[in-house]
Amino acid sequence: MCEFLLESLKINHHGKEIMNVQFVAQSNTPRDKIFTTLILGVNGSGKSYLLTIIANIFIFLEKAKNYQRKPKFRYDQFSIGYEINGYKYEVKRLSGSEIYCYRDSLLINLEELALPCKILAVSFLVNDKFLFTTPEMGKFFPSYIYLGVRKSSNATYTSSILQNVMRNFFEVTLSENYTELITILSLMKFDKKVQFKVINNNTSKSIDGSKNILKDAIWDSNISIDFQNDRDENRLYLNENKESILSCIKSDELELSNIIFFKNGERIPFEDCSSGEKHLIFSLTGILNNIKPNSLVLIDEPEISLHPEWQTKYIDLIKKIFHRYGSCHFLIASHSHYLVSDLEPHTSSIVFMNRAIDTTSPSAELLPYSTYAWSAENVIYNIFGVRTTRNYYFEADLRKIIDLMNSDDGTGSNVDEIQNLVNKLRKFIFDQSDPLNIVLDQAQEFCDVYKKNI
C-alpha cells in the first residue's frame, strides 16, 4: 500500500535550534492501518505549536512548488523528512532562497517533490493556532483545509459549528463514506438515523431556473435518513440527484437549517447534544468529508469535553472510522494520559514534549517503548511525572526500594538501582512532612554507606 509518513522535523533560526523532532523510529514495517503519532506534554510544552509549524511548512512547500516563488516563512532554516508512495523525501531550507529537495537521497527539482494529498487541521478550541483560511486564500494552497470552529481569523460563532456539522454530515451521507457515520452514531449511542431540516430559498423550486425540478419532499421539509436501510428512499433519491442538490446548497437555493439526531426514538437537535457529542460529531465528520489517501491529519487536543471512556477509545475509534485510509498519518497533540492506553505498537508512536525552565525552545523525545495496553496510572507516573494517591506504579517502585535493601547480601550490588529509584521518587515529594521522606532518607543513607567504602 502507498503510504504517507512524517518522519522528522528540525527548525533553526539565527543559529539557534527551535525544534528537533523524530516522529517515528528509523525502521517501520508495512502497515494496513493509519499511523498515529501521539504528541504528549503538559500545558505550554509546545504541542499545539508543533502541529501549526508542520502545517505551515507544507503550505510553504505547496506555494513554492505551484507558483515558482519563495513564499515567506517565520524561520530561516528547516529540514523536514517524510515518506510517500515508497520514496523517502527530505526538504531543506537553508535560507530564504535556498531550498533543496531530495528523493531517496538524490537531489531533485522542487517541481518533482511529492506532497501529502491533504493537510487537515482539526481543532475544537476557540483559540486554536492553526491558520484560518478563506476560500480565496485556499486557492493558493488547496491541499490545506482548516477544520476548526473559527469563522474568521479571530472570531468564533456557535452557528458556524452547526453549519459545518450540517454540511459535512449531509455531504458524507451522499458519499461512499456514509457507512462510517454509523460507527460515529453507534459510539454516542444514537439511533442510526438522522433528520435534516431543509429550507427553500428559491420560490421557483427549480435548479438553474427550469431543469431538474426536485420532488416536493425536498423543499421546506424534514428529510429523514435511515442508515440501517440500504434502500432508504430518501438517501437513494438524494444520491441520484447529488450534484444538483449540492449545487443548490452552494448557491443558497437550498439551506440546511438544522440536523436532528435520535436516541431511543427521541429527537435530539444538535444544539441539545452534550459538549462531548458536539465535539466528536464536528471533528469526525469534518475529517470524513475531506480526507484523501496519503493525507496528513493534525488534531489538536481531541480530549476536550470528552468523557474518560471516550478518550480511552479515541485512537481505536479513529482507526475504525478511517480504515479505508491506511495510507494516512494522524498527528494528535494531547495532555490526556487516557489516549495512550489504546495505541498499537506497530502503527503508533509517542513523542513527549517538554520545555526546560532555562530555555524557550521545547525538547521532544520519541519514546522507544510500546504503550499498548498501558494503564492511565502508568502514563501519569512514568510519562507526565505525576504522583497520585494509591498509584500502583508509584507504590511498586517504593516496594522495590525496600525489597532491594532487605535482600542486600553485603556487597552493595543493588546500590545503583536503589539510587536511581531514590532520585526518581524524590521528584514526587513537595512537602517535607511527607512520610515518604523517611523511606527515601533511609535508602539514601544505605547508598551513601556503600559509596564511601568504594
Q: What CATH number did the domain enclosing 8 receive?
A: 3.40.50
Nearest Cα to 273, choosing from 258, 264, 261, 265?
261
Mean pLDDT, to the nearest integer, of 78-92? 95
CB-based contacts of 150, cutoff 8 Å, min separation 6:
126, 128, 132, 156, 160
pLDDT given for residue 213 in this prediction: 41
> Is the per-residue pLDDT at 41 higher than 90?
no
Question: What stretch of H or E contains 223?
Answer: strand 221-226
How many domains does the chain divide into? 3
pLDDT given for residue 89 in this prediction: 97
| Residue 277 resides in a domain | no
| Residue 279 resides in a domain | no
Q: What is the pLDDT of residues 297-313, one digit of tens each?
A: 999 999 988 888 888 88
Question: Model confidence at 72, in pLDDT bands (50, 70, 90)?
Answer: confident
pTM confidence score? 0.80
pLDDT given for residue 205 in this prediction: 44
Same domain, 235 and 372: no
> Is the per-residue pLDDT at 180 higher than 60?
yes
C-alpha cell at 78: 528547516
C-alpha span between 446 and 217 (Å, rounded): 83
C-alpha torsion 376→328→177→343, nearest 10: -20
Higher-confidence position of 103 and 32: 103
pLDDT given for residue 270 in this prediction: 94
pLDDT given for residue 286 in this prediction: 97
> Is the per-residue pLDDT at 388 higher than 90?
no
Higher-confidence position of 187 and 24: 24
Same domain, 203 and 336: no
Higher-confidence position of 152 and 317: 317
Question: Model confidence at 336, in pLDDT bands (50, 70, 90)?
Answer: confident
DSSP string, 244-294: HHHHHHHTTSEEEEEEEEEETTEEEEGGGS-HHHHHHHHHHHHHHHH--TT
Lowest mean pLDDT among 27-41, 72-86, 299-313, 370-384: 370-384
pLDDT given for residue 384 in this prediction: 67
Same domain, 204 and 338: no
Percentage of the chain exceeding pLDDT 90: 39
| Residue 429 resides in a domain | yes
> Is the per-residue pLDDT at 438 higher than 60?
yes
C-alpha span between 195 and 173 (Å, rounded): 11
Same domain, 21 and 151: yes
Most confident of 12-26, 69-83, 114-128, 355-369: 114-128
C-alpha cell at 83: 515518506
> Is the per-residue pLDDT at 238 higher than 50?
yes
Same domain, 350 and 434: no
Q: What is the mean pLDDT of the chain?
A: 83
Same domain, 126 and 163: no
Is beta strand 77-84 parallel, antiparallel or unpaired with respect to 348-355? Answer: unpaired
> Is the per-residue pLDDT at 214 higher than 60?
no
Same domain, 239 and 342: no
Same domain, 448 and 400: yes
| Residue 281 resides in a domain | no
Mean pLDDT, to the nearest integer, of 89-102? 89
pLDDT given for residue 380 in this prediction: 64
For residue 115, the SS3 value is coil
Mean pLDDT, to the nearest integer, of 174-198? 89
For residue 434, the SS3 value is coil
Question: Model confidence at 38, in pLDDT bands (50, 70, 90)?
Answer: very high
Burial class (CB in 10 A: 0-12, 13-18, 19+), 125: middle
| Residue 280 resides in a domain | no
Higher-confidence position of 374 and 318: 318
C-alpha span between 435 and 440 (Å, rounded): 9
Same domain, 122 and 162: no
C-alpha cell at 5: 509518513
> Is the per-residue pLDDT at 425 higher than 60?
yes
Same domain, 196 and 307: no
Mean pLDDT, to the nearest integer, of 318-338? 92
Mean pLDDT, to the nearest integer, of 361-372? 72
Q: Which residue has the cell 491533504?
A: 118
Same domain, 31 and 118: yes
CB-based contacts of 262, cutoff 8 Å, min separation 6:
190, 191, 193, 194, 195, 268
Q: What is the pLDDT of residues 220-235, one digit of tens each?
A: 467 788 777 777 777 7
Start-to-end Cα distance in the chain = 58
| Residue 282 resides in a domain | no
pLDDT given for residue 206 in this prediction: 41
**Domain boundaries, position 8:** 4-155+291-382
Same domain, 377 and 437: no
pLDDT given for residue 79 in this prediction: 97
| Residue 337 resides in a domain | yes
Distances (CA, A) of 321 to 69, 162, 195, 311: 39, 21, 21, 15
Is beta strand 254-263 parallel, antiparallel or unpaired with respect to 221-226? Answer: unpaired
pLDDT given for residue 377 in this prediction: 58
For residue 92, the SS3 value is strand
C-alpha cell at 247: 449545487
> Is the per-residue pLDDT at 325 higher than 70?
yes
C-alpha span between 5 and 328 (Å, rounded): 7
Amino acid identity of residue 391, one-letter, is N
End position of a domain, from candidates 245, 272, 299: 272
| Residue 433 resides in a domain | yes
DSSP string, 294-354: T-EEEEE-TTTT--HHHHHHHHHHHHHHTGGGTT-EEEEEE--GGGGGG--TTSEEEEEEE
C-alpha span between 29 and 141 (Å, rounded): 32
Percentage of the chain exceeding pLDDT 70: 84
